[in-house]
A and B are shown apart, each in its own frame.
Chain A
């Protein structure tokens, strides 16, 4: 899966959690929590969706690495080889 495809998946999964958000304006370096008003339950739902969709289980210790669009795509790209 290319980075562009991964980014598309991430945006779609975020859209299901924050349907009111304008995901086209998502800044790659700003945490989801700040841009999308997400709380820990939203993030948990997001990580559950990633695990279900891509088969990548993000350890709690790595949550900070996947807290932004850019970081999340980097992390998933590395995890998926």
Chain B
């Protein structure tokens, strides 16, 4: 059971996508796990043959518990012959299992509003899809059984509790320090407008992807911010996986990783960003996207906020915030002109680095955004 969040202690295996005897390749989706942040696809990180399932659908097990045995090519089978007949077959996809629920958007919304746990609802729609009426019936039954409903462990509450645990731990354990700088975006926004003008909508870039790429490249110069705190020391990460904070319509937020953000061309990074946002909001994230971020980027600019000072998500050691792009008077060649600017902030772990290096990081982001064509 992988660690999919700073304070995740256990997860419920809800569905196996592979069966004993199946060949699996690195990156395949092996199973789905229900966590406080929703259902997450569990990837396999080695290729071979799924030899044995150790945790059955419906079981909740602590983080670190082996879920299955995969025999790599050339390895001797640990269990000879076919899978043990004592081992129950994985549940077929259409079989309702605890924690996994195919539901219509209206049903999901109603479940949040009414505090109904979808995993406890029997769907009556096509292939067992949970419909709005199913949720409403479940809510009525819940009222009859528990006059004090809604339940305190609904999806929204669980998400909020997970966030509460992570940020409380962060503020308790991490000595944050904060820096900010204002960056002139005239060149970047002009370049972006010229780039986007002739493109079909689907091929356009958002300013946010320039910010993500600039952060990723700046980390190459200040690699101590691209690290994880491991007990009593920081362990730098070789790869740069930028976690992007994405708000969820049901409440709460997640910060899954854009893998190798420093190495992706802008167009590719934009498509990956778009895909990540869409999958986050539709509940289709992969385990590595939750476990791999090495730094987080957050933005409240679209909410009208000029500066956001984030809380570091452990075990990461830094979070970068982008505010609203606003027009401000700037002195250029002795003239006062109006330019678009953005306030960029850094919250960093003082055990890992100091203001001098953190300043260099923000200055590097500034420099990179002055030559957007090189991002």
Q: Which residues of chain A have a CB within 8 Å of any CB of chain B?
A: 18-20, 33, 37, 39-41, 44-45, 47-48, 50-51, 57-60
Contacts and interface: CB of A to CB of B under 8 A. Distances in A.
B159 to A, nearest CB: 15
18 contacts: A18-B249, A19-B106, A19-B108, A19-B249, A20-B105, A20-B106, A20-B109, A20-B112, A20-B249, A40-B206, A40-B208, A41-B278, A45-B274, A45-B278, A48-B201, A57-B200, A58-B201, A60-B193
A51 B199 CA distance: 12
B249 A60 contact: no
Contacts of B206: 40-41, 44
Contacts of A19: 105-106, 108-109, 249
Contacts of A18: 249
A75 to B, nearest CB: 14
Contacts of A45: 274, 278
Contacts of A39: 247, 302
Contacts of A40: 206-208, 302
Interface in B249-264: 249-250
Nearest to A33: B302
Contacts, number: 49
Nearest to B274: A41
Contact of B249 (A37, A41, A50): A37
B204 interface: yes
B146 interface: no
A21 to B, nearest CB: 9
B202 interface: yes
A47 B115 CA distance: 33
Nearest to B200: A57
B204 A44 contact: yes
B108 A48 contact: no
Contacts of B207: 40
Given A19-B105, A39-B302, A41-B206, A60 B196 contact: yes
Contact of A44 (B108, B109, B201, B250): B201
Nearest to A47: B201
Nearest to B303: A39
Nearest to B110: A20
Interface in B141-190: none
A60 B249 CA distance: 25
Given A19-B108, A40-B208, A51-B201, 6 more contacts: A19-B105, A20-B112, A37-B249, A40-B207, A45-B274, A45-B278
